[in-house]
Chains A and B, each alone.
Chain A
Amino acid sequence: MYGHVVSIPKGHNSKMAARCVLGSTWSSLSAVRSRANSSNVSIFQKITSCPRMLFFGSVQSRAIRHVVEKKEGNTTILEGLTEDAHVGPQPPNPTAPCPIYRWNLQNKYNYTDVLLLSQFIRSDGGMLPRRVTGLCAQEHSKIAVCVQMAHRAGLLPDHKPSLPEGHIPKKPNPQLNRYLTRWSIDSVKPIYRAGLKWCKKRISVGHPALKDNVRYGKKILYLKH
């Protein structure tokens, strides 16, 4: 009953392996609890009576541990439960300092790849620091630029900063659709004298940091419209 090794057949991934092992731990602990409750044994004896579990193989990822306390009459039960971390697919280039280079996404992402960008932002839309995410300097700035453009395009509606309570905007901004906006909306002035063709003041679109992105097709990237 206790101390049995869970044999995991081949083909199961480590997540399922962890769950099988933990399931056996949980069931054995509950069995101990039910046996101890009947005889009113103290906590110390319960923990020592349960022999060590033998884990099959080694769990690859470090998991977050929780301590759960339960009270049933005279006895308090403290149980340590491991939350198994998701072990997803492995990156194709694991020996690289920057996560973008690990997954070979160097010049392949854009402002529309919201699933990628949302991994590097806080809940109020700001970027996470470089020392935490592990991005190299160039990729961090590229991702920051893409996040800015995605915010201005309205692709991240749930990552807005929370306004203080009772804040009423003085004049509501007109809701206009936009994309590939380089500059902030309030910082830009209208071009009243655009000039002739040879000296025209062009409107900048996109960002030069994304100039090296892979383009499939013959069209070149126009940054000045």
Chain B
Amino acid sequence: MSSFTKSAQQWATFARSWYLIDARMQPPGKIATMCAIRLQGKHKPIYHAISDIGDHVVVMNTRHIAFSGNKWEQKVYSSHNQYPGGFKQVTATQLHLKDPKAIIKLAVYGMLPRNLHRRTMMQRLHLFPEEDLPEDILQNLTEELPQPREVPRRLDEYTQEERGAFPRLWTPPEDYRMK
């Protein structure tokens, strides 16, 4: 903006921001793409791969992520510790119960570019399984990002007026005993 001093403009352009994402009832893949874009700095017009302009991203409620389909049972995370017989395959359920942050961590790791910057970008990603964040991180947060998926409402979250306003599609016959 023309009204800022040069030093103020420089600060605003190159400062590292802290973003917050709530992963409750969200698919971990979509959360991971949002994180990866901001960790690389691709959301900024001054992006370049060499200049280290990625931001910090804090993801909370990673324990409450929601997979679509039957991925909790079907998706398999494999690892090999390079010893013979060291090939381990673990379903998403088992991995999530063992470590609630692992699924999002692995997803973001796979979406970042495969170079030496990846490790530094992963250090700037902060994952928390629940909503309680430490004080110093809370003070650093600048912006909360909107959730990628619209969470549907349960039946008991609808008020009585809304349920009454919805029309009855069919009338039961008089001699039918309902339910």
Main secondary structure of the interface of A (DSSP, over half): loop
Taking the complex as formed, is B158 at the interface, i.e. its CB lies under 8 A from any CB of chain A?
yes
A57 to B17, CA, bound (A): 71
Candidates B69, B76, B154, B173; contact of A194 at CB < 8 Å = B76
Taking the complex as formed, is A225 at the interface, i.e. its CB lies under 8 A from any CB of chain B?
yes
A122 lies within 8 A of B179 (CB): yes
Count of A-B contacts judged by CB separation below 8 Å: 122
Candidates B73, B96, B173; contact of A132 at CB < 8 Å = B173
Taking the complex as formed, is B109 at the interface, i.e. its CB lies under 8 A from any CB of chain A?
no
In the complex, chain B residues 80-131 whose Cβ is within 8 Å of any chain A Cβ: 89, 91, 93, 96-97
B74 lies within 8 A of A203 (CB): yes
User: Closest approach, in angstroms, between the C-beta of B90 and any C-beta of chain A?
Assistant: 9
A115 lies within 8 A of B162 (CB): yes
A225 lies within 8 A of B154 (CB): no
Please indicate which of the listed interface residues B69, B155, B166 has the most CB atoms of chain A within 10 Å of its own CB.
B69
Candidates A86, A91, A118, A181; contact of B155 at CB < 8 Å = A118
Taking the complex as formed, is A37 at the interface, i.e. its CB lies under 8 A from any CB of chain B?
no
For residue B167, which residues in chain A have a CB less than 8 angstroms away from its CB? 88-89, 91, 103
Which of A12-20, A40-48, A66-74, A150-158 contacts its partner?
A150-158
Taking the complex as formed, is B25 at the interface, i.e. its CB lies under 8 A from any CB of chain A?
yes
The total of chain A residues at the interface (CB under 8 A) is: 53
A179 lies within 8 A of B162 (CB): no
> From B91, which residue of chain A is reached at the shortest CB distance?
A190
User: Closest approach, in angstroms, between the C-beta of B77 and any C-beta of chain A?
Assistant: 10
A88 lies within 8 A of B168 (CB): yes
For residue A177, which residues in chain B have a CB less than 8 angstroms away from its CB? 25, 64-67
User: Closest approach, in angstroms, between the C-beta of B72 and any C-beta of chain A?
Assistant: 5
A177 to B75, CA, bound (A): 15
Candidates A64, A154, A180; contact of B174 at CB < 8 Å = A64
A62 to B75, CA, bound (A): 54
In the complex, chain B residues 45-90 whose Cβ is within 8 Å of any chain A Cβ: 64-76, 89
B69 lies within 8 A of A206 (CB): yes
In the complex, chain B residues 120-179 whose Cβ is within 8 Å of any chain A Cβ: 152-156, 158, 162-163, 166-174, 176, 179
A191 to B162, CA, bound (A): 43
B76 lies within 8 A of A192 (CB): yes
Q: Taking A157-B155, A157-B156, A189-B74 as contacts, is the C-beta distance between A204 and B170 under 8 angstroms? A: no
A138 to B89, CA, bound (A): 40
Q: Taking A177-B25, A205-B69 as contacts, is the C-beta distance between A158 and B155 under 8 angstroms? A: yes
Taking the complex as formed, is A178 at the interface, i.e. its CB lies under 8 A from any CB of chain B?
yes
B168 lies within 8 A of A119 (CB): yes
User: Closest approach, in angstroms, between the C-beta of A16 and any C-beta of chain B?
Assistant: 16
Please indicate which of the listed interface residues A88, A89, A190 has the most CB atoms of chain B within 10 Å of its own CB.
A190
User: Closest approach, in angstroms, between the C-beta of A192 and any C-beta of chain B?
Assistant: 6
- Write the B18-44 contact mask toward A (1 if CB under 8 angstroms, else 0): 000000010000000000000000000
Interface residues of A (CB under 8 A from B): 61-62, 64, 85-86, 88-89, 91, 99-100, 102-103, 111-112, 114-116, 118-119, 122-124, 132-134, 153-159, 174, 176-183, 185, 188-192, 194, 203-206, 225
19 contacts between A and B (CB under 8 A): A64-B174, A88-B168, A99-B169, A99-B170, A102-B169, A114-B152, A132-B172, A155-B152, A156-B155, A176-B72, A177-B66, A178-B69, A180-B68, A182-B70, A185-B70, A188-B74, A189-B74, A203-B71, A203-B75
| Across the A-B interface, the 8 shortest Cβ-Cβ residue pairs | A177-B66, A205-B69, A112-B152, A99-B169, A123-B179, A99-B170, A188-B73, A115-B166
